[in-house]
Structure 1
C-alpha cells in the first residue's frame, strides 16, 4: 500500500468516526441541553468535514492535530452519564487526560472531570427566555441567526419578535430574504418561510413576530404573548439610561444595547466583567466590537505582566454609517466613499476600557482608520509592560490563555503565516491573536488582534444575554484561573 493509500484510508476511518459522533452530539444537545465543544468551538449541528477541520485546527493552538479517535471515547463516556445542562469541551478532556498520571480509564476520568454537571450537582433545565430584537440591521440579523441556532434544545433563549419601522410593500418578505442570504456570512443554515397573513417569519420552526413601530413607547409586548423578555436594541439610537428606558414596556424585563452605553449604563464585555452585572440591573450595554476585541487580551496581559500604558490603532472595515460614494455626512470624513478610501475616524474603544476594566490604571489611547473591506478588522495593541519579557514567553502565554483560561471563548490564537482578514469571517471569538505578527522588545509588546466586527461581536452579545437571562450554563472541565 502506498503512502497516498495510507492517507486516504486514514481519512475514511476518521470520516466514519466523525459521522458516528453527529447523532451523539445532537442527542446530548436536544435531550439534555449539553453543548459539546472542541477547544471552545461548538460541534453542535456541524457536518462531518466541519468536525474534522475543527479537530485539525487544534494544531494551530496546541501544536499538534487532535484526532477524532482521541475524542470519540470521551464523547461516548459522556452519553453514559446523568448530565445536566452544561458545555463540555472534548479538547480539554483529551488534553487533561494525557497529562493525568493516575491510570484512570477514560470513563472514570470523564465522570470526575464533569462531576459538577452530573447527578445531584446538575442544574435544572430552564424554561426558554423570550427575546425581542429592536432593529434588524447587520448585527440584528446575525444575532437572530445565533438565537435560532441555539434554540435547538428547546431551552435557553427564544426569539419571539423583531421591531422595525414599516418599509412598504412586501416589507416582511424582504426582511426574511435578508435573513436568508448574506453577502458576507453566506446562507442561513436552515429553512425560512414567511407568514404574511400573521406577520411572522418562521425560521427553523421558530415563529418570529414582526412588529412595526416608530417609537418604543408605542408597543405593548404582552399583546403578543411576550413576558419578561430581554430586548436587544440594535439601532444605537438611544445610548443613555433615559433613552433606553423607553424600551421598558409591558413584557420587557431588561434592555441590552449593542453599542457603547453612555453615562451610568454599564459596558459589559463577556469574559471580563459580565459577572459584575447586578440581578436588579435592567439596562446595560455590550460596548463596541473593538472594545470587545481589545479588552480580553488587555486584561490577560495586565494579569501576567502589568500594563503601564498603551495605544490601540484599529484598522476597521467600513460600515453602514459611511457613504458608498462621496455625499453629505454629518461627520467630516465619513461622507467620503467608503469603498474607495482609507478614512481616518474616531474610536471610543480606548475610553470604554475604563468601564470594562476599572482596576486597570494604565492610560489607553486610541485611533481608527476605516478601510475598503466589508468585514473583519484588526486592532494593533501597543503596550508598555511593568516588566521585561520575551517574544517566546508572551507567545506561549497567549496560546495557553486561548486554550485553557476563563478567556478562551473570547481569545483565539493562530500561527498560520499566510493569514489575512477574510480568513476570520465567521469567527466566534472576540479577538484572534496573530502569533506571527507578535512583537516584543523588553517591556514593550505589540499585539495584532483580528476580529470579525460583525459575527464575533454578535456572539459576545448573545453570551451577555445568556448570562443575564440565567441560561449561561457552566463549562467543563473547569479551566485554570
Structure 2
C-alpha cells in the first residue's frame, strides 16, 4: 500500500512512528509527508516526542528527505493536497484537521489518489467509519472519516452492549487530556469561554462531538446517548465514564464486560488498579477496567481508558488497510 501523509502534527507523526516501528506495517510505503512547518522542525519534532519519547534509531533530515527507521521519505512543505505526488498512491491520510472543502478532496482524487482518509470528524466524507462498530459498511467509499478518538472508544462498546443486552439510554463523560486546541496560558481561542483558559492548570468542562458522531455511526441508537467532556491537566491518555440503562442487564456486569472485550479486538482489558500513564501506547480503541464497574438496578457504570493518540492512529491504519484491500 502506497500512502501520503498530509499534515504532520500529533496524529501524522504517530502514524508514521507506528509504520516505522511495528512489523505489521512493513509493507506500507510512505511516498511523502507534507506539512506547513519547516522540514527541519518537523524532523526535530518527530525525533523527540514529549509523550512517546525519542524515536529509536534517531531521525535525520537531508536532501529534502526524512530519514528514520531505515527508510527515506520525502518531506514536503506547504504543498496543497491535490498537488502532492499522487502517481500510484493508494491513499492520502489527511491529518491536517483543517480540510472542510470537498472541492480540495475531489481535486486530490482527480489528481491520482485512489482514496482519502480523514483523521477526524468530517461532514464532507462519504461515510464515517469506526472499527468494531460499523466497519462492515465501508463499501466502495473513496472519502472516509475516521471519526474522533472518543467516538472510536465509545461506539464499539455501545454497539456490543446494545446487541447483547439492549441499550435503553446512556450518558458518557470523557475525561480527556488537554490538546493543541487549548492555550498553555489564558488566551482567546474561541466561543467556548472555558476553553480559553490554561489547559495544563485546570479541569475544563466542555463539549464533545462523540454523541453526535454516535448517531451517525450507529443510527439505530440515535438520540439514546448523550455526552460531555472534561479536559484535564494530563498530556496523554483519556478515559470514558459511561452510565447506561439496559433492557436485560447481565447478572454480573464486570464479567459481562470481560466477555465483551474478549470478543472484540479493538476493546482491551486492564485488571490492575492503573492510572492514565500506565495505558500509554495501548493500541486498543478502549481498555475497559472491569473492577471500576458499578451496578444499580438496570443502570451500569462502565469505565475505560484510551490512548487518544496511539489508539486512534492505530485505527487510522486499520481503516486504511480496509480501504486498500476491499473489493472495489
Q: TM-score, normalised by structure 1?
A: 0.64
Q: Specify which of 403, 408, 414 is matched with residue 270 of structure 2.
A: 414
Deviation, structure 1 residue 202? 1.8
For 1:329 and 1:361, locate their aligned partners in 2 and report how far apart those are by CA, in whole Å. Answer: 31
For 2:78 and 2:25, locate their aligned partners in 1 and report how far apart those are by CA, in whole Å. Answer: 31
1:315 alignment partner in structure 2: 175
Number of equivalenced pairs: 325
Distance change in 2, residues 1:163/1:220 (3 Å) = closer
Alignment of 1:289-304 (within 5 A): 289-304=149-164
Task: Give per-residue Cα distances to partners, 1:346-388, cap 9 Å, x unaligned.
Answer: 1110110122112335611111111111111111111111123
2:31 alignment partner in structure 1: 160
Following TM superposition, where does structure 1 have runs of at least 4 consecutive aligned residues deviating by more than 6 angstroms? none
Unaligned runs of 5+ in 2: none
Q: Is the 8 A contact 1:151 1:158 kept in 2?
A: no
For 1:413 and 1:297, locate their aligned partners in 2 and report how far apart those are by CA, in whole Å. Answer: 12
Distance change in 2, residues 1:293/1:369 (3 Å) = same
Q: Is the 8 A contact 1:239 1:257 kept in 2?
A: no
Q: 3-state SS of the aligned residue for 1:259?
A: coil
Deviation, structure 1 residue 262? 1.2
Structure possessing the higher relative contact order (Cα contacts under 8 Å, 6 or more residues apart): 2
For 2:108 and 2:237, locate their aligned partners in 1 and report how far apart those are by CA, in whole Å. Answer: 31
Higher Cα Rg, which structure: 1
The answer to whether the aligner puts 1:469 opposite 2:328 as a matched pair is no
1:206 alignment partner in structure 2: 71
Alignment of 1:38-437 (within 5 A): 129-150=1-22, 154-155=26-27, 157-165=28-36, 167=37, 171-195=38-62, 197=63, 199-213=64-78, 215-217=80-82, 219-222=83-86, 226-239=87-100, 241-262=102-123, 265-279=126-140, 281-331=141-191, 332-360=193-221, 363-390=224-251, 392=252, 394-403=253-262, 405=263, 407-408=264-265, 410-416=266-272, 418-437=273-292
For 2:280 and 2:100, locate their aligned partners in 1 and report how far apart those are by CA, in whole Å. Answer: 28
Deviation, structure 1 residue 227? 1.1
Deviation, structure 1 residue 445? 1.1
Q: TM-score, normalised by structure 2?
A: 0.93
For 2:276 and 2:26, locate their aligned partners in 1 and report how far apart those are by CA, in whole Å. Answer: 35
Distance change in 2, residues 1:383/1:152 (3 Å) = closer
Distance change in 2, residues 1:153/1:184 (3 Å) = closer
For 1:271 and 1:448, locate their aligned partners in 2 and report how far apart those are by CA, in whole Å. Answer: 18
Distance change in 2, residues 1:306/1:263 (3 Å) = farther
Task: Give per-residue Cα distances to partners, 1:132-185, cap 9 Å, x unaligned.
Answer: 111101111001111223467752x211211112x4xxx323211211221111
Deviation, structure 1 residue 336? 0.8
1:39 alignment partner in structure 2: none
For 2:164 and 2:34, locate their aligned partners in 1 and report how far apart those are by CA, in whole Å. Answer: 44
Q: 3-state SS of the aligned residue for 1:389?
A: coil
Unaligned runs of 5+ in 1: 1-128, 472-481
Q: Is the 8 A contact 2:32 2:75 kept in 1?
A: yes
For 1:430 and 1:153, locate their aligned partners in 2 and report how far apart those are by CA, in whole Å. Answer: 18
Task: Give per-residue Cα distances to partners, 1:429-456, cap 9 Å, x unaligned.
Answer: 0011111211122211111111111111
CA RMSD of aligned residues (A): 2.0
